[in-house]
Structure 1
Amino acid sequence: MAKRSYFEEIQELESTWNDIQSHEIIINPPVNAELFSGCAYCIGSGGSIAIAKLWQLIFEDNHLGMAKTMTPYEFNQFDRVPDIVFLFSASGKNHDILQVFKSAALKGCKIVVFTVTANSALIRLAKSKPDQSVVIYPKVTTPKDGFLAVNSIVAMASVVGQVERSLFGQRKVEDSPVATAFKDHQDNIAFIKELNHGQAIQIISSEWGIPAGHDLETRLAESGVSPCFLTDPRNFAHGRFIWLETYRDCFVVLFGTPQSKPFLKRFIKALPEFITPYYICAPYEGLYGAVYCLTHSILIFSELAKVKALDPGRPVVPEWGRKLHSLRLSPKDTAGGDLSKTARDKRTQYPAFEMTFGGIVSDIDGTLLETENRFSGIGRDIGIEMNRLLHEGLLLAFATGRGKSALELLRNSISREFWPQIIVGLYNGTQIIRLDENLDEKLEPEWSSLQSIAFKVKEICSGIPRAELTIRQTQITVEGINKNQSAFIEQELSRAFGQGTKFMKLGQSGHSLDILPYWANKLNVLEKMNIFPKQNILGIGDQGQLGGNDEDLLGWKPSVSVGKSRPVSNACFWLGKDERLRGEQGMLRLLKAIEQVDGGFKLGIKIFDY
């Protein structure tokens, strides 16, 4: 382990901040803010806990959803599946974080990695799951830490700041919060030294000062410099003042920003005369306020260490401590256990296994057949299973982004006798037709905004090589684009139409971007099925992720996903979590597992027999 002097490391803080702020960061693949939304876990270990907390504040401040900061051990004790997991590791080699990545990947979570080390084990893991993970790191190299996280804290905070500006367009403050904190620290150093004599430290943090509270608590605990207590101003008032009354020589540190200043001033005024707290109030709100307070935490700690004549960057680590650090959690130590072995035991939590149904609504491309084979026809085995179920009385319906080609595809696989009872929702449910009907004779629905939207999409796509545009009465389809180009089109449409985007709907399929009227929905097919709502209907698709064109269908209860991306709905049974059971293979397994029972059909447990 590298052992650098803590007091040398802190001299590099300002240059570390400036280097990252003046260079671009890598976000691979590029993302927009919408893809970061949902229920989130922010996971860090040691010093990275403060950065995880900082990201939680940014995440919630930008209304992306609810977030919770936790350690890797806490994550392993939760048998819940968030929409997205944010991992924070400066070195990218923390074995606890690596294990969390593997566990989150198995659970099907979207994973975002923040690090400052480009060539690390964590980055390599993320690259092995390109459809599930995003990696974020700076282009420039940063100074190595000693025993404690020093420059990496400022570096990670700087990266987080770059991401916030990239996603949300937050204003950049010209003053360096690190330089400002250094100056203010020097102005108050005599006061700090006068107070710095206590036997324990009471840390009280508020708003954007909360990450600094976690940071100082971590430094004190990991160095042995002093015992400490961390809380917020109101929780402190619930009896925690007894410690200060009993041990009056404690050093009290408060972190806050302008928002909490009026209350903290009243808080300080209410303290007895024998308590003279050191109050750090950042001159900024938001990320810059947090970085200002974090820098103060690093500098205050250096003064505390000097009093004890310790260099925290060069501790004497006991052998038993090394043994503790090297311990690994096994699958049986976690709440979920071995996920591959517990899938069978967890099947009853999904409506797809609990509910009896009388019909199915299925997507086509990526579900009935592989996307790359969408012009080759439905597989013979799947055709056999569909006809078997139709003979047994199960009602089949289909919802697809396709038009006439979907009808031809289905007619080639399904016996003619069943065509009159099969409903097909073309163009993502905007045009409903029976399989025995002639599409050319059907009256097309109108989309009043089509022309203006199509004009703008043409303009955007003119600058995208290989983009192929198809305009239909109720659907604009862009093919030949990748995910980044698709996200770019979405952003440009949002800029062009503003609130008018509420009158359009965008859906990702395995091979295209569909722009649709706001009333487009694959669930429109259900209303036309003659058994609805008397009997349940099972939804099946592959694009149930946020923005996927099966998101609504797989949000239905009951539903099953055969896709490689985790569906948004936790109630949807994700069969495609196992790569062997995705797409056509997953659909075949599912159809074979449907059994006739009293009152309809059920999904049998033999779906797990593989």
Structure 2
Amino acid sequence: MTTPVLTAKLDALPTTLDLFLAYDAGPLAVSLADGARRHSLSIGSGGSAIAAEYLARCRDTLGLGPTTVQTPMQLVTDYHDLSETDVWLFSASGDNPDAAAASQAVFDRKARKVYLVTRNTDGSAVRIVEGGGGTVHIVPVADPKDGYLATHSLMSSVVALLLACDGASRDPRGAAHLLGSLASRLTEMRDPAHRASIAARLSSLRRSDTVVIAGDSHLRPLSVLLDTSIWEASLCHVQTTDFRNLAHGRHGWLHHRQDETLVFALTGTDTRATWKAINDLLPPSLRRHAVDQRSCGRLDNALAMIDGLGIIEAMGTILGIDPGKPGIGEFGRAIYDDHSLADLAQALPPNVRHKRAAIAKSDSHDPADDPLHLIGRERLRALAEADIGGAVFDYDGTIVTTAGRYSAPDKEIADELIRLHKAGLRIGFATGRGGSAGEELRKILPADMLPSIPIGYYNGGHLRTADVDVDEDRAPADSAITETAAWLNERSDLFLCHSFKHREVQITVDMDKLRYPYRFPVDFEGCAPFAAGLVRIMGSGHSYDIVPAASSKLSVVQAIKAELPVGLEILCFGDSGSRPGNDHALLSHPYGISVGDVCGAANGCWSLFGAGSVGPEALLTILRALLPSDVGRIRVDFGSLGLDR
């Protein structure tokens, strides 16, 4: 016997299968069914990557929705929001640095639901997932130490998913049937005559050969098992593809190296004819080994993985390598135990991921900038240490949601503004709106507050206190705005509905009235006042605002700053912090906080919570954290914000 370690593991697999006679797959079935009609991420590396692929196939057979399979590193280094995505993490031990990194990242990216499938109740990943409100599914194994290749842990994860999917299918075949089928295949795989037969069919294999695994896409779990195991055991070279991708250029390898190549064809009902067409055209001397797995369903894939383990054992026997203990370099354990991915996950809290996404969108990162996590940490430090004397708020998307901008602000927001005013905080508003903003504020704020609140209407173009009705006290007309309105009146080609709002110091164009909304700033370059630098254009969540070049929301900040003692800072809140957004200038300083978009400049606009909490919800959390200090100043109570991980 040349593979004593792997063979012993395979011979003992029935003991793990027996544990499933008493296994309750119900909770796992509920978790699977809960993901219906949603995208899921399935995460694993090494042997767990095989289980991750099997979940994808299981979800596909149940019609639950698309599944993307990734490694932990892909999960950590991606940064888009996962609030509509379920994430499944697979880790046998649940205690390696990459599993911990993935578990941290998935909560930072605000996944809808998080599930961990593991054999270990005490792993670091278990603590992170349970601590974050996720669900841990413990699967039974008879031998918790897999050895070098995943065997018992792989079998356990696959069988658990198979039984759970049967329960979730609403047309179950029954656990007894499924477990009986697996037991029969295990018996066949371990039969000496069968082992000898597989070895005989692969007897021409050499360590210098390349194994080309060309598979049915519905057999990805088996393809990944073979690819992973051949690589990890250093049996020979391996390349994995599907039949038609093989036909698109990869056949060149077969032409130039046919004497050094063995093709593994993994077929099923849908791809037998495809493989036959290719097989009939391949050179007769090219070695090939075909494995057919019928319908490639859940049970077929589970059986295929038992076959795959038998193939790896046979390859090891032929080549004189024990895949269960092939030997590794001294550096191997150090590489496996390296914490760099976990360190990276720690350096990417939600606000840093949010900023990374904005930088990626604009493709604008300056390599001279400090690392983002250091910049983000410094901004938090500056906010934590600031004595705050004032706060300036955008209105739409900040005080009220963009969708609910025609409704009054929530009472909770109003109550916090009143509390902070009584605590001595100077409050102002900077909005793209006209008189409607003041009208709404006069409904919710006490009359004695209003004369002390400056409002910069029309993006700061008309500054009045909140007690003044600007529909009665109108701003003088700006000639550049008047000329711009005339230009727009002549450009009906830009509109689906030729309509816009023209006020003395601002023009507002609703995006849904434009023929090509996102091209409008480019089209606008032909406007003479814009070309001359007399007006500028800014975007919000629903419209474009065209204002005189001198108009700025910062006029409200300056008005409050002039009345504050030296050393007191002004917080600024808005939601349109991207470079063309109408809150960009307001938010791009150390005390600016976005509750929506951020810009692509590392030292520009940032949020506190990332993309997960936005608008009035995020604002309310921050307002509640503004508390009087022991010396009578107002500071941000960071402990109440939930930013510590």
TM-score when normalising by structure 1: 0.58
Using the alignment, how far apart are the partners of 1:123 and 1:154 within structure 2? 20
Instruction: Flag the 1:65–1:32 CA change in 2: closer, same or farther, 3 A.
Output: closer
Cα shift at 1:271: 3.2
- Which runs of structure 2 are paired with 1:210-249 in the superposition (5 Å)? 210-245=220-255, 246-248=257-259
Cα shift at 1:153: 1.1
Using the alignment, how far apart are the partners of 1:87 and 1:386 within structure 2? 48
Cα shift at 1:247: 3.6
Aligned residue number for residue 181 of structure 1 = 185
1:437-488, Cα deviation, whole Å (9 max, x unpaired): xxxxxxxxxxxxxxxxxxxxxxxxxxxxxxxxxxxxxxxxxxxxxxxxxxxx
Aligned residue number for residue 198 of structure 1 = 205
Aligned residue for 2:148, secondary structure, equals: coil
Contact 1:27–1:134 (CA<8 Å) still a contact in 2? no
Instruction: Flag the 1:581–1:235 CA change in 2: closer, same or farther, 3 A.
Output: closer
What amino acid is the match of 1:87? Answer: L
Using the alignment, how far apart are the partners of 2:438 and 2:119 within structure 1? 52
Aligned residue for 1:202, secondary structure, equals: strand
2:262 aligns with one of 228, 242, 251? 251
Instruction: Flag the 1:393–1:85 CA change in 2: closer, same or farther, 3 A.
Output: farther
Contact 1:29–1:134 (CA<8 Å) still a contact in 2? no
Aligned residue number for residue 19 of structure 2 = 19
Cα shift at 1:383: 8.7
2:290 aligns with one of 279, 287, 310? 279
Q: Aligned Cα RMSD in Å?
A: 5.1
Aligned residue number for residue 117 of structure 1 = 120
1:269 aligns with one of 273, 276, 280? 280
Aligned residue for 2:155, secondary structure, equals: helix
1:114-152, Cα deviation, whole Å (9 max, x unpaired): 21223322111111101xx22222367554311110111
Using the alignment, how far apart are the partners of 1:283 and 1:414 within structure 2? 71
Cα shift at 1:212: 0.7
Question: In percent, how many aligned pairs have the same letter?
Answer: 17
What amino acid is the match of 1:118? Answer: T
Cα shift at 1:168: 3.8
- Which runs of structure 2 are paired with 1:260-339 in the superposition (5 Å)? 260-329=271-340, 337=348, 339=350
Aligned residue for 1:5, secondary structure, equals: helix
What amino acid is the match of 1:381? Answer: R
Contact 2:4–2:322 (CA<8 Å) still a contact in 1? no
Instruction: Flag the 1:345–1:287 CA change in 2: closer, same or farther, 3 A.
Output: closer
Aligned residue for 2:115, secondary structure, equals: strand
Contact 2:141–2:153 (CA<8 Å) still a contact in 1? no
Using the alignment, how far apart are the partners of 2:359 and 2:624 within structure 1? 18
What amino acid is the match of 1:178? Answer: L
Does 1:7 find its partner at 2:12? no
What amino acid is the match of 2:419? Answer: D
1:165-216, Cα deviation, whole Å (9 max, x unpaired): 3444353361544334346655754543233222222222213322111101
Cα shift at 1:586: 4.0
Cα shift at 1:45: 0.9
- Which runs of structure 2 are paired with 1:382-531 in the superposition (5 Å)? 395=437, 414-415=445-446
Does 1:102 find its partner at 2:104? yes
Aligned residue for 1:42, secondary structure, equals: strand
Aligned residue number for residue 86 of structure 2 = 84
1:341-364, Cα deviation, whole Å (9 max, x unpaired): 5656767899xxxx9865754699
Q: Unmatched 5+ residue regions in structure 2? A: 362-392, 450-507, 512-538, 543-574, 582-594, 600-605, 627-640
Contact 1:26–1:138 (CA<8 Å) still a contact in 2? no
TM-score when normalising by structure 2: 0.55
Aligned residue number for residue 381 of structure 1 = 419
What amino acid is the match of 1:198? Answer: L
Aligned residue for 1:238, secondary structure, equals: helix
What amino acid is the match of 1:134? Answer: T
- Which runs of structure 2 are paired with 1:148-163 in the superposition (5 Å)? 148-163=149-164
Aligned residue for 1:277, secondary structure, equals: strand
Using the alignment, how far apart are the partners of 2:437 and 2:297 within structure 1? 55
Cα shift at 1:282: 2.0
Aligned residue number for residue 50 of structure 1 = 50
Aligned residue number for residue 138 of structure 2 = 137
Using the alignment, how far apart are the partners of 2:71 and 2:32 within structure 1? 26
Using the alignment, how far apart are the partners of 1:323 and 1:574 within structure 2? 37
Contact 1:575–1:586 (CA<8 Å) still a contact in 2? no
Instruction: Flag the 1:260–1:116 CA change in 2: closer, same or farther, 3 A.
Output: farther
Instruction: Flag the 1:220–1:31 CA change in 2: closer, same or farther, 3 A.
Output: closer
What amino acid is the match of 1:179? Answer: A
Using the alignment, how far apart are the partners of 1:397 and 1:67 within structure 2? 49
Instruction: Flag the 1:230–1:29 CA change in 2: closer, same or farther, 3 A.
Output: closer
Using the alignment, how far apart are the partners of 2:95 and 2:115 within structure 1? 15
Contact 1:203–1:254 (CA<8 Å) still a contact in 2? yes
Contact 2:19–2:140 (CA<8 Å) still a contact in 1? no
Using the alignment, how far apart are the partners of 2:625 and 2:16 within structure 1? 59
Aligned residue for 1:85, secondary structure, equals: strand
Aligned residue for 1:381, secondary structure, equals: helix
Cα shift at 1:284: 4.6
1:403-429, Cα deviation, whole Å (9 max, x unpaired): xxxxxxx999654899xxxxxxxxxxx
Contact 1:146–1:313 (CA<8 Å) still a contact in 2? yes
Aligned residue number for residue 208 of structure 1 = 218
Contact 2:16–2:143 (CA<8 Å) still a contact in 1? yes
Aligned residue number for residue 466 of structure 2 = none
Larger Rg: 2
Aligned residue for 2:245, secondary structure, equals: helix
Aligned residue for 1:237, secondary structure, equals: helix
Aligned residue for 2:270, secondary structure, equals: helix
Using the alignment, how far apart are the partners of 2:79 and 2:337 within structure 1? 24
Aligned residue for 2:73, secondary structure, equals: helix
Does 1:164 find its partner at 2:174? no
Contact 2:95–2:124 (CA<8 Å) still a contact in 1? yes
Aligned residue for 2:235, secondary structure, equals: coil
Instruction: Flag the 1:240–1:397 CA change in 2: closer, same or farther, 3 A.
Output: farther
What is the count of residue pairs matched by the alignment?
437
Instruction: Flag the 1:21–1:577 CA change in 2: closer, same or farther, 3 A.
Output: farther
Q: Unmatched 5+ residue regions in structure 1? A: 371-376, 399-409, 419-530, 539-553, 559-566, 594-607
Aligned residue for 2:46, secondary structure, equals: coil
Using the alignment, how far apart are the partners of 1:336 and 1:52 within structure 2? 26
Aligned residue for 1:267, secondary structure, equals: helix
What amino acid is the match of 1:78? Answer: D
Contact 2:263–2:289 (CA<8 Å) still a contact in 1? yes
Cα shift at 1:258: 2.5
Instruction: Flag the 1:12–1:32 CA change in 2: closer, same or farther, 3 A.
Output: closer
Contact 2:350–2:611 (CA<8 Å) still a contact in 1? no
Using the alignment, how far apart are the partners of 1:348 and 1:222 within structure 2? 37
Contact 2:41–2:70 (CA<8 Å) still a contact in 1? yes
Instruction: Flag the 1:273–1:266 CA change in 2: closer, same or farther, 3 A.
Output: same
